A = this chain, B = another copy of it.
């Protein structure tokens, strides 16, 4: 018909390209080619559909090849991408009194009449756009109980006539024409366009259509969908849905899309139905896997012992299953390692690292907040650090709920399974500590009201949760859930290891972890990293027991007092570094000197101030005054980082000594030769680096002399201020490495505090003012350009300069790709994000290689 190429048989030898005929037509054609039992039929191309939409079906078009008299047809949608959705299938096209007579002979009059009447109703409703209720009301009126099949048919036709105002059309060609037009109209309807646009479809999204034979005996057939591995674990098995009841007159089940409730009794259901079915479908599954080079889910119809395959789509799969599938396909030589690496979205790997809310559940979400630290955990509510520790000692899981947290709560935060705070953002104390500990955390849940005195949490709907009530914190989704919904636990199985080893082979960009403690360093090693890119020494200092010392240091009245506190801190820090160095076994470890504003270490509550005053034998008023003195208007932009190193240089001296003495100790004990990396934070001038370097050099010389042991080390700069980026050339004459602290850099480039951005970030991203949240994905135009400029200046000054990134962008795939392209040496992120980073780095390296291959083949082609 029409113009050549606009319509093709589904059994055509030449492939039906998805962009021409839609994805479903493409799939069915391939299933056909693999000799699977697929009903015959034709595919209308996207162009044909567009012509019909624009100019209608011309009278001179000959649709007869699509219609064989006496054979029923289905019209199925075949959009270019399945994910866009599409109009529902129209079945039984071609139904008329001649077919009715035929069916009556084969199936009996009653069943045939029911099928006929159902089609008439569907035709009236779906194609002639009549109201279904009204049709049913009229047909019900005329169809009394005990009605004869002939009367049923007559009353249906009467209802059609009454409603539509004309006779029901008996001509199959007319039915087909109207069926096609109605599906195309549905595709072009407003609500369909909005819906698919939300799923990422372009404005001119193309639709193909399929006109396909109905399966013989469809009325008695049973429909199902099946895949041969677990969508959750990826392990072998028979999973899917299988409707035990027959399809019946409607000719189709409600839906088979929803696999959330997996019937893993499917194998026995098949057995009960017919012993050969299971084997046959399993064989078809293997064929489909070989055909599509992927695990597939098959949509099938069972007519007695005959199975018809209607469609095949990629099998449902969790991230864990994805990894198992990828490894299996590579093992069987069906896909390359490269394709396997691209088959997993790096961000999906988060799911296997941490427990998550079970996506199939219906959690009782009582409030939302900032998704401050990912993962999910359930426990009894407690309101104080002390209560959390008590729960821990009884080996009970608890959720620590606070208005906000302070250093005094850290011990309790260690003991809690999850943390919830009413106030605070992504960089509040609770958020930073929780991410470091890998504890799920939601901050800034401003709609809940926490009252620690009465030990209650009032939630927006008015309910009051009390100490001991069970709560779940979803730190991935920023949700607070009452009770204990199902969680999916993390599993790092063999497939994970194999898959990640391929990623490591492919990538050229280093991936390090941010690890502040021995615990986190062990975790990083276990998960797999190339080293530690950031040890935040302040997180070692706020550990229980050390905080008071730190406070004494800060409030010291005289250099002597300060020296006393430092001398007691030194062995503690040294012990920490020894542990970390031993765990990392010679892998690089980059330690950042003390960074945060001093007042962050100081107590805020009256009680804590009094205790500190007592410990220091000072009047409370004196301590309070000093705390007030240290308060800052914009702590982010205050006396912190290297500015501490300039004003209280003894602290950095102590830290450098602890690092060097630890390196010596580890060498003596394990024989491990290591060269610690020392990083200076918040630099804005070259001279700051020079001053720190000369002092650190002096400490190194002293430790070398005292220990009679030589060791190397590197001194570098954390580039967090725009000025440090601008001055990267000069700074790199002094610094051996630059590590971009893109959290702070983003704050300064945008003039935007991450903690305060929450209030309008969503709106900004929705309006497209920010393409993405710049704290999630590196802003390529502002921050990114600054990184490139700094990298170029730094490398010009020192070709061997090592370049890293240690903001949270280090765990974001797009940002990692940016770093790869910029020629950075490594990114550093939370240990939990390291797999994401490794895969993202691998993918970008592969893309890079492809781009270079393309460029060189183009280049050679042009010659």
**Residues on A close to B: CB < 8 A?**
425, 428, 446, 629, 632-639, 643, 646-647, 682, 684-685, 687-688, 691, 720-723, 726-727, 744, 747-753, 755-757, 759-760, 763-764, 767-770, 779, 781-783, 785-786
From known contacts A646-B769, A769-B688, infer whether A749 and B723 are also in contact, taking CB-CB under 8 Å. Answer: yes
CB closest chain-B residue, reference A755: B633
From known contacts A720-B751, A721-B751, infer whether A764 and B634 are also in contact, taking CB-CB under 8 Å. Answer: no
CA distance A756 to B641 in the complex (A): 14
CA distance A695 to B684 in the complex (A): 39
Contacts of A755 in B (CB 8 A): 632-634
Contacts of A760 in B (CB 8 A): 639, 643, 646-647
A785 contact from B428, B726, B749, Cβ within 8 A: B726
Contacts of A636 in B (CB 8 A): 633-634, 637, 751, 753
From known contacts A646-B760, A782-B723, A785-B726, infer whether A770 and B634 are also in contact, taking CB-CB under 8 Å. Answer: no
Contacts of A753 in B (CB 8 A): 632-634, 636-638
CA distance A634 to B637 in the complex (A): 8
CA distance A461 to B586 in the complex (A): 59
From known contacts A726-B786, A744-B751, A755-B634, infer whether A446 and B646 are also in contact, taking CB-CB under 8 Å. Answer: no
From known contacts A637-B751, A750-B721, infer whether A691 and B769 are also in contact, taking CB-CB under 8 Å. Answer: yes
Q: Are A723 and B750 in contact (CB under 8 A)?
A: yes
> What would 7 A/B residue contacts be, using CB atoms closer than 8 Å?
A633-B753, A634-B634, A635-B756, A637-B756, A684-B751, A723-B779, A726-B786
CB closest chain-B residue, reference A768: B687
Contacts of A634 in B (CB 8 A): 634-637, 753, 755-756
A contact patch SS: helix
A684 contact from B629, B632, B684, B782, Cβ within 8 A: B782
CA distance A748 to B757 in the complex (A): 16
Q: Are A632 and B723 in contact (CB under 8 A)?
A: no
Which of A638, A682, A781, A783 is the most central at the interface, judged by chain B CB atoms within 10 Å of its CB? A638
Contacts of A638 in B (CB 8 A): 752-753, 756-757
CB closest chain-B residue, reference A782: B723
Contacts of A633 in B (CB 8 A): 425, 428, 635-636, 753, 755-756
Shortest Cβ distance from A688 into chain B, in angstroms?
A: 6
Q: Are B752 and A637 in contact (CB under 8 A)?
A: yes
From known contacts A633-B756, A637-B751, infer whether A722 and B769 are also in contact, taking CB-CB under 8 Å. Answer: no
Contacts of A643 in B (CB 8 A): 760, 764
CA distance A632 to B751 in the complex (A): 14
Shortest Cβ distance from A452 into chain B, in angstroms?
A: 17
Q: Are A684 and B752 in contact (CB under 8 A)?
A: yes
CB closest chain-B residue, reference A770: B685
CB closest chain-B residue, reference A744: B751
Q: How many copies does the complex hold?
A: 2
Shortest Cβ distance from A144 into chain B, in angstroms?
A: 58
Shortest Cβ distance from A250 into chain B, in angstroms?
A: 50
CA distance A687 to B781 in the complex (A): 13
CA distance A643 to B687 in the complex (A): 36
Q: Are A759 and B639 in contact (CB under 8 A)?
A: yes
Shortest Cβ distance from A380 into chain B, in angstroms?
A: 29
CA distance A684 to B749 in the complex (A): 8
CA distance A750 to B638 in the complex (A): 10
Contacts of A428 in B (CB 8 A): 633
Q: Are A763 and B647 in contact (CB under 8 A)?
A: yes
Shortest Cβ distance from A775 into chain B, in angstroms?
A: 12
CA distance A458 to B305 in the complex (A): 101
Which of A629, A639, A688, A744 is the most central at the interface, judged by chain B CB atoms within 10 Å of its CB? A639
A748 contact from B639, B647, B751, B764, Cβ within 8 A: B751
Shortest Cβ distance from A628 into chain B, in angstroms?
A: 9
Contacts of A782 in B (CB 8 A): 684, 722-723, 726-727
Contacts of A750 in B (CB 8 A): 684, 721, 723
CA distance A764 to B726 in the complex (A): 20
Shortest Cβ distance from A83 into chain B, in angstroms?
A: 28
Shortest Cβ distance from A237 into chain B, in angstroms?
A: 51
Contacts of A786 in B (CB 8 A): 722, 726
Contacts of A687 in B (CB 8 A): 767-769
From known contacts A755-B633, A782-B684, infer whether A722 and B747 are also in contact, taking CB-CB under 8 Å. Answer: no
Q: Are A748 and B722 in contact (CB under 8 A)?
A: yes
CB closest chain-B residue, reference A424: B633
Contacts of A682 in B (CB 8 A): 751
Shortest Cβ distance from A180 into chain B, in angstroms?
A: 43
Shortest Cβ distance from A642 into chain B, in angstroms?
A: 9
CA distance A723 to B760 in the complex (A): 18
CA distance A727 to B634 in the complex (A): 26
Contacts of A779 in B (CB 8 A): 723
Contacts of A748 in B (CB 8 A): 722, 748-749, 751
CA distance A688 to B771 in the complex (A): 12
Shortest Cβ distance from A173 into chain B, in angstroms?
A: 53
Which of A446, A721, A727, A751 is the most central at the interface, judged by chain B CB atoms within 10 Å of its CB? A751
A749 contact from B646, B721, B744, Cβ within 8 A: B721
Shortest Cβ distance from A761 into chain B, in angstroms?
A: 10
Shortest Cβ distance from A649 into chain B, in angstroms?
A: 11
CB closest chain-B residue, reference A767: B646
CA distance A270 to B542 in the complex (A): 79
Besides A425-B633, A637-B751, A691-B769, 8 more A-B contacts (Cβ < 8 Å) are: A632-B755, A633-B756, A635-B756, A636-B751, A637-B637, A646-B767, A646-B769, A727-B781
Contacts of A637 in B (CB 8 A): 634, 636-637, 747, 751-753, 756
From known contacts A767-B646, A769-B688, infer whether A632 and B756 are also in contact, taking CB-CB under 8 Å. Answer: yes
Shortest Cβ distance from A633 into chain B, in angstroms?
A: 4
CA distance A781 to B757 in the complex (A): 30
Shortest Cβ distance from A849 into chain B, in angstroms?
A: 31
CA distance A259 to B722 in the complex (A): 50
Contacts of A767 in B (CB 8 A): 646, 687, 691
CA distance A857 to B691 in the complex (A): 45
CA distance A119 to B755 in the complex (A): 78
Shortest Cβ distance from A203 into chain B, in angstroms?
A: 21
Contacts of A635 in B (CB 8 A): 633-634, 756
CA distance A759 to B752 in the complex (A): 23
Shortest Cβ distance from A21 into chain B, in angstroms?
A: 39
